[in-house]
Amino acid sequence: MILGMLRIKPMSGYEIKQAVDQSTRFFWAASYGQIYPELRRLEREGLIKGEPSPRGARRRNVYTLTPKGEEVLLAWLQEPPAPPELRFEGLLKLFFLRDDERETALAQLQSMRRQNSAALGRLQEIEPAARELPQGSQLLVLRSGIAALQAVEGWLEQAEHRLTDAPIEARR
């Protein structure tokens, strides 16, 4: 992810985190605790180069992709992707709830719907600007996120109706 971000343009660790939060976070998040150690490792391996670029009293490095880093990134981009791994805490909580904990399950579903709706709204707001990006693949990824969140929205609505409308015995 870091090599890809630096392929777009040179950035500091802080700028990489901001770019992640505005783009890939919806399908590939990263924390400062992951980014900064990885920047040091990538620099040690000669895949990126950091240059001091202080802002006022703040120390900061701006990193660029090296030719070796570009080669590694291009090789990775050509590899088949790993199978997707879904990590959805709300589903994990639902999995462990018992039938007699319907109110808790409903509260979880409603919370999940609010979060999903907010994320869907953010992606839909981004879409008009994404149409102007030079790389059409980024718009494809954005639309994938929108479609996935719309599907989750439909499932959440069905699950909530099932819990509110059906007696416990009928759900088995």
Q: What is the pLDDT of residues 32-46, one digit of tens each?
A: 999 999 999 999 999
Q: Would 12 be classed as within a structural domain?
A: yes
Q: Let me know whether 31 and 66 are in one domain.
A: yes
| Domain end point (choices 45, 78, 111) | 78
Distance CA 172, CA 160 (A): 15
Both tokens assigned to 163: 């819990």
Q: Let me know whether 68 and 35 are in one domain.
A: yes
| Per-residue confidence (pLDDT) for residue 19, from 0 to 100 | 92
Q: Let me know whether 51 and 102 are in one domain.
A: no
Domain containing residue 67: CATH number = 1.10.10.10
Q: Let me know whether 107 and 150 are in one domain.
A: yes
Cα of first residue to Cα of last residue in the chain, in angstroms, is: 43
Encode pLDDT of 85-121 as tens digits: 888 899 999 999 998 899 999 999 999 999 999 999 9
Q: Let me know whether 112 and 133 are in one domain.
A: yes
Distance CA 52, CA 164 (A): 58
Q: Let me know whether 103 and 165 are in one domain.
A: yes
Q: Let me know whether 48 and 100 are in one domain.
A: no
Encode pLDDT of 142-167 as tens digits: 999 999 999 999 999 999 999 888 65
Q: Would 10 be classed as within a structural domain?
A: yes
Q: Would 84 be classed as within a structural domain?
A: no
Q: How many domains does the chain have?
A: 2
Q: Are 102 and 84 in contact (CB under 8 A)?
A: no
3-state SS assignment for residue 11? strand
| Domain end point (choices 51, 78, 105) | 78
What whole-number percentage of the chain has pLDDT above 70?
Answer: 96
Distance CA 15, CA 108 (A): 34
| pLDDT higher than 50, residue 172 | no
Q: Would 83 be classed as within a structural domain?
A: no
| Per-residue confidence (pLDDT) for residue 103, from 0 to 100 | 94
pLDDT band of residue 79 (cuts 50, 70, 90) is very high
| Per-residue confidence (pLDDT) for residue 32, from 0 to 100 | 92
The residue range of the domain holding 15 is: 2-78
Q: Let me know whether 41 and 112 are in one domain.
A: no
In the predicted model, what is the mean pLDDT of the chain? 91
